[in-house]
């Protein structure tokens, strides 16, 4: 829903109309989104195949459940990109209506779901470091299923009525197909600020939690490294911290710019500023990049996924080539090592 509402200014004054701004930007957006669609479709189709193929063996891994749902969110956005591309390429009211009621909400759904599931993965890895027993209910596969399904129900409950109401209560056809604002009737309009406020709260919660988890995990790993400078576990501990850093990096690259720009863009939307529109479109583009960056998370966190891509040797630590394939890059045994090693100091 990041671009569901745009101003419909007439173009008087220094600012351009939204239509002229959008039209001038389309030749640049279309090839980039086409490339993202093709690469994202290949990567996410392979990832879905991997999850389906190894569903039985990975059932006991709670964090893998979150990865599966993250893949589903990416795949939904990926299959909606052709609608966005056609919307940029054609001046059709029908395509415009479908884009505003389906394409844009799916982007909102993907962004919010990705933030949630990345936060869940980071929280799971954090708890594995600080709870050596691994018996906490939130670390169980049952809890992961409950949390994941609850997240989807909440998000779909918020998105589905919006899309249906926009289709049912649409206004008469207008020529300014570059904007979605004229499609919002009074019945729908209150949902817009409420949904964005909800998404922004989720974003801030996810950002702060990821930074906290990475900072806490880094401190704990450094404590272990100070006590085991020459141990064989030193490189494993650094991998654990690296995996957390991958989560934070992907999150910041894809979502932080968009949410930084979103607030001022909503504030100045009545002016239809060309500069703000360009900046907003760039940040939306960055957020779509998560469909090709999220598989990077699977590469670092999941050893089985690396094996399917024949990347095992790249990430393999010398002397540990016979490690069980049930481990992830941030494996259960590595996490237990960290927890056990620092338990006395934590007490």
pLDDT tens string 238-270: 777 788 889 999 999 999 999 998 877 776 665
Give the pLDDT band of residue 182 (cuts 50, 70, 90).
Answer: low
In a domain? residue 186: yes
Question: How much is the pLDDT for 13?
Answer: 42
pLDDT surpassing 80 at residue 198: yes
Domain range for 205: 22-346
pLDDT surpassing 50 at residue 344: no
In a domain? residue 13: no
In a domain? residue 209: yes
In a domain? residue 2: no
Three-state secondary structure readout of the chain: CCCCCCCCCCCCCCCCCHHHHHHHHHHHHHHHHHHHHHHHHHHHHHHHHHHHHCCCCCCCCHHHHHHHHHHHHHHHHHHHHHHHHHHHHCCCHHHHHHHHHHHHHHHHHHHHHHHHHHHHHHHHHHHHHHCCCCCCHHHCHHHHHHHHHHHHHHHHHHHHHHHHHHHHCCCCCCCCCCCCHHHCCCCCCCHHHHHHHHHHHHHHHHHHHHHHHHHHHHHHHHHHHHHCCCCCCHHHHHHHHHHHHHHHHHHHHHHHHHHHHHHHHHHCHHHCCHHHHHHHHHHHHHHHCHHHHHHHHHHHHCHHHHHHCCCHHHHCCCCCCCCCCCCCCCCHHHHHHHHHHHHHHHC
In a domain? residue 12: no
| Mean pLDDT of the 98-103 span | 86
Q: Is the pLDDT higher at 202 or at 96?
A: 202
Into how many domains does the chain fold? 1
The enclosing domain of 42 has a CATH number of 1.20.1070.10
| Mean pLDDT of the 110-130 span | 89
In a domain? residue 14: no
| Mean pLDDT of the 139-156 span | 91
Question: How much is the pLDDT for 254?
Answer: 93
Q: What is the pLDDT of residues 158-178, one digit of tens each?
A: 888 888 887 776 555 554 555
| Mean pLDDT of the 64-79 span | 92
In a domain? residue 165: yes
Question: How much is the pLDDT for 330?
Answer: 45
Question: How much is the pLDDT for 95?
Answer: 84
pTM reported for the whole predicted model: 0.80
In a domain? residue 1: no
């Amino acid at each position: 829903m990041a671009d569901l509402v745009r101003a419909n200014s007439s173009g008087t004054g220094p600012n351009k109309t939204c239509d002229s701004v959008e039209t001038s930007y389309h030749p640049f957006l279309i090839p980039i989104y086409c490339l993202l669609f093709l690469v994202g479709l290949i990567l996410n189709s392979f990832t879905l195949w991997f999850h389906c193929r190894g569903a039985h063996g990975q059932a006991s891994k709670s964090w893998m459940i979150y990865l599966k749902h993250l893949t589903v969110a990416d795949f939904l956005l990926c299959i909606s990109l052709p609608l966005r591309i056609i919307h940029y390429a054609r001046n059709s009211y029908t395509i415009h209506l479908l884009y505003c009621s389906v394409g844009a909400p799916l982007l909102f759904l993907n962004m919010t779901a990705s933030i949630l599931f990345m936060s869940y993965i980071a929280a799971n890895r954090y708890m594995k470091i600080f709870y050596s027993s691994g018996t906490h209910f939130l670390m169980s596969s049952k809890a992961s299923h409950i949390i994941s399904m609850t997240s989807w129900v909440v998000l779909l409950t918020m998105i589905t009525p919006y899309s249906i109401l926009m289709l049912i209560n649409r206004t008469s056809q207008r020529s300014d197909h570059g904007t979605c604002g004229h499609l919002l009737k009074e019945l729908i309009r209150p949902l817009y600020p409420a949904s964005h406020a909800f998404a922004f709260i989720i974003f801030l919660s996810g950002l702060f939690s990821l930074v906290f988890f990475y900072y806490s995990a880094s401190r704990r790993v450094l404590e272990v490294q100070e006590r085991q400078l020459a141990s064989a576990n030193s490189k494993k501990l650094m991998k654990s911290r690296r995996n957390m850093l991958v989560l934070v990096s992907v999150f910041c690259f894809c979502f932080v710019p968009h949410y930084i720009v979103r607030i001022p863009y909503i504030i100045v939307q009545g002016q239809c500023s060309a500069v703000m529109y360009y900046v907003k479109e760039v940040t939306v583009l960055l957020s779509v990049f998560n469909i090709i960056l999220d598989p990077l998370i699977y590469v670092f966190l999941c050893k089985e996924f690396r094996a399917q891509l024949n990347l095992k040797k790249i990430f393999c630590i010398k002397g540990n080539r016979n490690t069980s394939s049930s481990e992830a890059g941030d494996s259960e045994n590595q996490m237990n090592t960290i927890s056990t090693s620092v338990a006395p100091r934590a007490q």
